[in-house]
Amino acid sequence: MHIYQTTAADRPEIEQLLDTAFGLDRHNRTAYRLRDGSTPVEQLCFVARREEGGCNAHLCASIEFWPIEVACPNTGESLPALLLGPIAVAEECRGLGLGGQLIRLGLETAEKLGHHLVILVGDPEYYSRFGFSNAGTGAWTMPGPFEQRRLMAHVSDPALSLPAEADVRKASCVHPRAAAQG
C-alpha cells in the first residue's frame, strides 16, 4: 500500500469511492455546504493505492481537508480552521488501518503547515483516538442539520482556546497560510 498526494487524475476514482461509501445524496449533507465554492487544501489531500502491476494501482482510500472558519458571535472574530473530510476507505480495503494512517498524516501535515484547528462531523467513538473531542463544541452551530455530539474539534496548539459559542462556516476569505502555500 502506498500513500500519495492527490492529483487531478485521481478525482474520478475518488468521486466513485465517495458515492459508494456515502451514497449519491452525500452532497445534501451539512458538511458539503461548508465545502461549496471552495477547494480543498492541496497539500492535505491524499490517496492510498494498492499497487497491482504498474499503472493499474487500485484506489483504496482518500482524505481531504478544506478551509473553513469558526466565527465567535460574541466578539465578531473568527478562527481559521480546517474541515476534515470526506475520508473514505473502499470496502475491500477496510480493516487495514488506512483510515487511521491518512488521518494521522493529514493532521501532522496540517500542523506543519500552521493549521492548528481541525473540525469534523463524525463518530466520536472512532475519531477520539486521534485527539478529536466534542467537549468544547456543544454550543456551536453549522449551516444545516447535524448531530451535536458528532461535531468535533482537534486542537494542536495548547495556546489556542476554543470559544464556548461559535458558528462553523465557510471561510470568508482565503486563509493567509493557504494563500502563501500556493
Q: 116: domain CATH number?
A: 3.40.630.30
Q: Cα separation of 45 and 96, whole Å?
A: 19
Does position 177 have pLDDT exceeding 70, yes or no? no
Tens of pLDDT, residues 75-124: 989 999 999 999 999 999 999 999 999 999 999 999 999 999 999 999 99
117 C-beta neighbours (distance < 10 Å), count: 19
- Cell numbers 458515492 correspond to 19
If you average pLDDT over every residue of the chain, what do you get? 90
Element (H, E) at 174: none
User: By residue range, what is the domain housing residue 146?
Assistant: 2-181
The total number of structural domains that make up the chain: 1
High-pLDDT (> 90) share of the chain, %: 77
Cell of 177: 497560510
The reply to whether omega before 86 is within 30° of 0 (cis) is yes
- Grid cell, residue 143, equals 449551516
Count CA atoms closer than 13 A to 105's CA, side-chain side. Answer: 20
Q: Which single residue is written with the C-alpha cell 500513500?
A: 3
- Nearest 5°: phi and psi at 165? -120, 140
